[in-house]
Chain A
């Protein structure tokens, strides 16, 4: 392949992977913005989404036939269900800890993450499960770009979800309430906003998006595994930091940027795919040193 073909191909791959990162990072960033919690369980929510997607798909496909219809239906059901799981986790594990020391709620989040992934590990016997969708994987060319139906639909769906999310945050009352709470929770309570309801809603939306990303990643890679959420949680955090944590468009931008950096990074000699994750982590450290507020963040320096 000529060099420009590789570049275009990597650009597409980077945007696709980056949009998964972005969708997970949005939930991460929203939760951080609203209750200042690094939700370690968010990567596991993504994993949970992929597994529940697989379960629903295997229920729906035989009745209405495999294909995009059943995939989208399964995805919607899983997103709602996993969103509700997110709300449940928030209610049981995080809400009682909102006034506790910061260390306690971080440990709680770790506990939730352990519970989620160990449950799935036991249920799936720790195996890699194939994510069969029976959608055509025949490739075709668009100029120099090699594509297939799945990848086109995935990237469109991912960007559509991001767009809907953006509209939700900027144009609806609920989105406005979320942004207000992230600025000052106590004042919001005085203004008559039901803070706990909005926090629950944030967890619902964030978890649903992560679940959606999980299912799309399942379709894209073809296999799912109980440990798949671990690294993506880390990368979502990196993406959120790159864009400016707590800022929703920043998280999306950060995700796309990280996806691009990774996919081009693997093309650099000596880095390759083996060091891909190390590369992403190095970026996190560099951003923390030189641009800790992220690309879209305000420049004020604030500490915990």
Chain B
């Protein structure tokens, strides 16, 4: 069993820094001060940056929202989801159709978009999760492709051209149409997503997910209904994706099937896995990497997916917990 030999604990400068950071953030006051500083900086950010930078940051917040949703499924419940772009599409198209074809107010479309995601999640999750957890991976992969084909071929979704004329949201009499408006909107959404994720992680449900992920049989023996609990993770995560999709539709005002390809599902998954599955700061870090790397290194364009493929393989082989380090207490226990 050469494969499972334990790695010796190394002490390199990188890990020393990490450990120092953990000790620093152990104190609650340091932690809160850091969060307050970061939030403060992000609030004044649009006043000191270009529109282009704001666009990238908005995209980053959007990734954080969607990837935190995916993280509930992949990170907390340990299920592989390869069609997350489809749930994102469900949200975007629900808002798109209700808004552009029926003239419904943007904020009113959100409950419908969540409802649509729940229905889609049940239709896919229920037959699959009853069987084996890993079937979900390929069924979601199929669902992603089928959703794209369906919205391409239906009339109500505008076919290959897509939907145009989705109404801008109105917030207390202000029509949101500037990039800085959307910056703040996605910023608030990202913070909400982080808070909800944090609360879920530390809830009874969150502990049940962790238990199932670590040992399904033991969890079942302790009276946790494995199928239902997993289904909750799948549906809650999908709802996150759908809400992200609704806001995406409102920001873009036009959506087409090309925004919901398999590649997008892979990108969301990359963000979750790269940073560290099941860790909120890890997901934020992963989203930063996925959004910022292509912006910083523009030359890699066509090789981007190939590079991400190798990165994914290397991460899985050598650092399955992702870039964001585990808490020392957990890694010492092993």
Contacts and interface: CB of A to CB of B under 8 A. Distances in A.
A278 interface: yes
Given A99-B3, A107-B312, A234-B142, A288 B273 contact: no
B177 interface: no
Contact of B131 (A97, A104, A108, A292): A292
Contacts of A238: 142
B310 A111 contact: yes
Interface string A101-139: 111101110111111001100100000000000000000
Contacts of A204: none
A6 to B, nearest CB: 24
A281 interface: yes
Residue of A96, A112, A238 with most chain B CB atoms under a 10 A cut-off? A96
Interface of B: 1, 3-4, 74, 78-80, 82, 123-124, 127-128, 130-135, 137-139, 141-143, 145-146, 149-150, 153, 216, 226, 262, 266, 269, 273, 277, 302-303, 305-306, 308-310, 312-313, 316-317, 320
Contacts of B142: 234, 237-238, 281, 284
Given A93-B313, A107-B312, A111-B312, A278 B78 contact: no
12 contacts: A95-B3, A102-B133, A103-B78, A110-B269, A114-B308, A234-B141, A237-B142, A277-B145, A277-B146, A278-B149, A281-B143, A292-B130
Contact of B127 (A100, A102, A231, A288): A288
Given A96-B317, A106-B80, A278-B146, A114 B134 contact: no
Nearest to B146: A281
Given A111-B316, A115-B313, A285-B127, A275 B80 contact: no
Contacts of A231: 145
A38 interface: yes
A95 B138 CA distance: 21
Contact of B134 (A93, A102, A274, A275): A102
A304 interface: yes
B320 A111 contact: no
What 10 A-B pairs come out closest when comparing CB atoms? Answer: A114-B309, A111-B312, A304-B132, A111-B313, A118-B306, A115-B309, A288-B127, A289-B127, A304-B133, A106-B80
A285 B153 CA distance: 20
Nearest to A286: B127
Contacts of A102: 78, 133-134
Contacts of B309: 111-115, 118
Interface of A: 36, 38, 40, 93, 95-104, 106-108, 110-115, 118-119, 122, 230-231, 234, 237-238, 274-275, 277-278, 281, 284-285, 288-289, 292, 302-304
Contacts of A292: 127, 130-131
Given A113-B309, A234-B145, 7 more contacts: A40-B137, A99-B1, A102-B133, A107-B312, A115-B309, A115-B310, A277-B149
B302 A110 contact: no
Nearest to B3: A96
B138 A114 contact: no
Nearest to B144: A234
Nearest to A103: B78
Contacts of B317: 93, 96-97, 108
Nearest to A236: B138
A288 B277 CA distance: 28
Contacts of B4: 99
A114 B266 contact: yes
Nearest to A98: B3
A122 B79 CA distance: 31
Residue of A230, A281, A302 with most chain B CB atoms under a 10 A cut-off? A281
Contacts of B143: 281
Contact of B306 (A115, A274, A302): A115
A97 B316 contact: yes
Contacts of B146: 277-278, 281
Nearest to B277: A103
A97 B314 CA distance: 12
A98 B4 CA distance: 9
Contacts of A104: 316, 320
A108 B310 CA distance: 10
A238 B142 CA distance: 10
A78 B26 CA distance: 58
Contacts of A38: 134-135, 137-138
Contacts of A234: 138, 141-142, 145
Contacts of A285: 123-124, 127, 139
B131 A288 contact: yes
A284 B266 CA distance: 22
Given A111-B312, A277-B149, A122 B320 contact: no
B301 to A, nearest CB: 11
B310 A40 contact: no
A9 B302 CA distance: 43
